[in-house]
Structure 1
Amino acid sequence: MFVEFTLLPETARLWVYPSSRKFYADETPEIEEKIKKFLGTWKEESPSFKASYQIQYNRFIILAADDMEAKMTTQDIDTSVQFILQLQEEHNVILLDKMNVCFKQGEYVQYKELKDFKKLLKNKALTGKSIVFDNLVQTKEEYEHYWEAPIEESWYNRFL
């Protein structure tokens, strides 16, 4: 069942899908409608299952699910990945490439291959204070506290 994001507990499971480009203003409402429809039918056989989403910076799709009472199975997660793959194809973006790094450069969110990110650090175009997105966060609580962090406070600090 789809619920507002704020209604999910801190323990809700979470998946971050960074887009290879910003979503266009005219496609965002369509993407949101597709996500709401998917979440409304995801595990619909379990009335206690609650799920929500956020789109951040016109660049990230965040899916979250409270599965405390209705445990998620591998098949349920596969269903969500299939949905993301469908969005990828329909909107000509990459959403499942975890080998890229997203970070802020000024007010803009950049999406770079890891090797290019390392070059930016080496050339001092980014510093330990630069904000990076940890798209590997796994719960709503981690997302709210650690998703956006200075490089020096994230797992990316190994590249400094």
Structure 2
Amino acid sequence: MHFSENSRVWVYQGDRELTDNEALQIKVLLDNFTTGWTAHNNQLKAKAEIRYNRFLILIVDEGQAGASGCSIDKSVHFMQQIEAQFGINLFDRFNLAYRKGNEVLSAPRAQFEELLKQGNINTDTIVFNNLVQNLTELENKWEVPFKDSWHIQLFGNLVLSS
């Protein structure tokens, strides 16, 4: 099934890496959810992905039907159920993900700041911009160097002064 490059995306980042078994279980739940996901009784053209066993991504091609406030609320409640069932936090926007070699790690804001001060994260470190809005941004602006991300606005003084 083809999805438009303008399809809306929502990225939920776990505060820890999922085990392969958890990822398989969650993928089944995500597929079941997206198959039955509706907006005002209209079936949404939707799919879900799990990337790096850490990111749960919902995608809706609004060419068929647009995601409404109620349908978005349904997805949030669904993600809250996933959180409870698997003991993960998907809603902490200040749990920041970054790459260290081939590994994807995350750190709470205070720890992320410490890593910056220590030089363990620098302007070239790949960070994840979970604020992307559509498939094009997901493919081109999700994994970016720190210096090209929104992170630089929040933490730039820590790397630029060192």
Provide TM-score, normalisation by structure 1.
0.91
Kindly provide the amino acid, as one letter, of the partner of residue 143 in structure 1: L
Deviation sequence 1:2-59 (CA, Å, 0-9, x none): xx5xx21111110001111111112222111100000011007324x31011111111
Q: Which residue of 1 aligns with 2:3?
A: 8
Q: Which residue of 2 aligns with 1:88?
A: 83
Q: Which residue of 2 aligns with 1:43?
A: 38
Could you tell me how far apart the structure 2 residues matched to 1:57 and 1:15 are? 16
**Superposition map of 1:58-137 within 5 A:** 58-137=53-132
**Structure 1 residue 99: deviation in Å?**
1.6
Query: What residue ranges of structure 1 are gaps of 5+ in the alignment?
Result: none
User: Is the CA contact 2:11–2:58 (under 8 Å) kept in the aligned structure 1?
Assistant: yes
Would you say 1:28 and 2:47 are equivalent positions? no
Kindly provide the amino acid, as one letter, of the partner of residue 65 in structure 2: A
Kindly provide the amino acid, as one letter, of the partner of residue 65 in structure 1: V
- Worse overlay, 51-60 or 113-122: 113-122
User: Is the CA contact 2:45–2:64 (under 8 Å) kept in the aligned structure 1?
Assistant: no
Paired-residue identity, %: 33
User: Is the CA contact 2:9–2:135 (under 8 Å) kept in the aligned structure 1?
Assistant: yes
**Which of 132, 146, 154 is the equivalent residue of 1:151?**
146
Kindly provide the amino acid, as one letter, of the partner of residue 41 in structure 1: G
**Structure 1 residue 69: deviation in Å?**
3.6
Report the count of equivalent residues: 154
Kindly provide the amino acid, as one letter, of the partner of residue 145 in structure 1: N
User: Is the CA contact 2:48–2:58 (under 8 Å) kept in the aligned structure 1?
Assistant: yes
Query: What residue ranges of structure 2 are gaps of 5+ in the alignment?
Result: 157-162
Q: Which runs of 4+ in 1 moved over 3 A?
A: none
Could you tell me how far apart the structure 2 residues matched to 1:67 and 1:79 are? 16
Could you tell me how far apart the structure 1 residues matched to 2:114 and 2:23 are? 32
Q: What SS does the corresponding residue of 1:72 show, helix, strand or coil?
A: coil
Q: What SS does the corresponding residue of 1:112 show, helix, strand or coil?
A: strand
